[in-house]
């Protein structure tokens, strides 16, 4: 059994990790909340959300729970720190937990490398100024962002209220010209139940926030991270 502790801010789509436990029987994804307030899609608020003093206490709690790995499950609360800062942030979590650690943003970059992707389109819930940080982060990680769509969803709580049909419509509306995959960030967005539909509709790999978070956490825990129904990422060894 592999235990991946999920450090999660606020309350929106954390139920996706319980769903993942039902899909991957030899894995556990205990959710530890890092923050009980709102998760606004605002750069300054997101920098505060990913601050060291907020991440270290739950990381220590993850250690006490016997986590094999720890994931900071917040895309925007990690990429706003930039490429180098994001690695430093993961280091804070690793030092506090004593376990291999990463974040959703780093997981996106690693998943893209794993699938051999160099050109990606992004469909983001965030306002444009926030989403631009994600595009910059991906470019620093070696991926060309061919198109960036933004939807001005004001907070994680608002994103958590968006249903699967919104995700499908957003994916279908994305500009995929020249792209090898579509990336949909935001761990507050429910996407796990429509991964297969998304990839069937687009004919391309689709990477979503909670999907890559679980995948990276499992790999760090020594799990093969292979499972049916969770998109091409979980099919590729």
Q: Do residues 168 and 198 share a domain?
A: yes
**CATH number of the domain enclosing 40:** 3.40.50.12500
14 falls within a domain: yes
Max CA pair span of the chain: 47
Q: Is the pLDDT of residue 237 over 70?
A: no
Question: pLDDT tens-digit profile of 198-230?
Answer: 999 999 999 999 999 999 999 999 999 999 999
203 falls within a domain: yes
232 falls within a domain: no
124 falls within a domain: yes
204 falls within a domain: yes
Q: What are the helix (H) ranges across the chain?
A: 15-23, 43-49, 52-64, 76-79, 82-97, 104-114, 128-140, 156-160, 164-173, 195-202, 209-220
* Range 54-82 average pLDDT: 97
Phi (first) and psi of residue 144, to 5 degrees: -85, 125
38 falls within a domain: yes
Q: Do residues 95 and 172 share a domain?
A: no
Domain count, the chain: 2
237 falls within a domain: no
CA distance 186 to 160: 9
* Range 36-63 average pLDDT: 97
Q: Do residues 84 and 158 share a domain?
A: no
Torsion of CA 228, 178, 153, 159, to 10 degrees: 0
Per-residue model confidence (pLDDT) at position 142: 96
* Range 128-141 average pLDDT: 98
197 falls within a domain: yes
Q: Do residues 81 and 129 share a domain?
A: no
* Range 34-61 average pLDDT: 97
CA distance 53 to 90: 13
Q: Do residues 190 and 123 share a domain?
A: yes
pTM > 0.85: yes
- Domain that includes residue 85, residue range: 2-106+210-226
User: Would you say 206 and 236 are in contact if contact means Cβ atoms under 8 Å apart?
Assistant: no
CA distance 134 to 122: 9
């Amino acid at each position: 059994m592999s235990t991946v502790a999920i450090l999660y801010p606020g309350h929106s789509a954390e139920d996706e990790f319980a769903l993942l436990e039902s899909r991957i029987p030899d894995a556990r994804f205990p959710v530890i909340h890092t923050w009980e307030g709102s998760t606004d899609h605002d750069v300054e608020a997101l920098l505060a959300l990913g601050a060291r003093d907020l991440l270290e206490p739950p990381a220590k709690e993850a250690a006490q729970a016997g986590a094999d790995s720890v994931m900071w499950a917040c895309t925007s609360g990690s990429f706003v720190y930039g490429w180098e800062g994001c690695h430093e942030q993961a280091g804070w979590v690793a030092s506090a937990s004593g376990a291999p650690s990463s974040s959703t943003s780093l997981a996106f970059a690693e998943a893209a490398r794993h699938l051999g992707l160099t050109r990606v389109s992004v469909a983001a819930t965030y306002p444009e100024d926030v989403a631009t940080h994600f595009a910059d982060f991906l470019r620093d990680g070696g991926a060309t962002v061919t198109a960036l769509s933004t939807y001005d969803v004001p907070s994680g709580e608002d994103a958590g209220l968006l249903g699967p049909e919104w995700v499908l419509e957003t994916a279908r509306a994305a500009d995929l010209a020249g792209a090898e995959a579509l990336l949909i960030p935001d761990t507050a967005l429910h996407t796990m139940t429509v991964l297969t539909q998304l990839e069937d509709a687009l004919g391309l790999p689709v990477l979503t926030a909670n999907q890559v978070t679980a995948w990276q956490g499992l790999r760090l825990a020594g799990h093969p991270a292979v499972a049916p129904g969770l998109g091409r990422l979980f099919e590729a060894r």
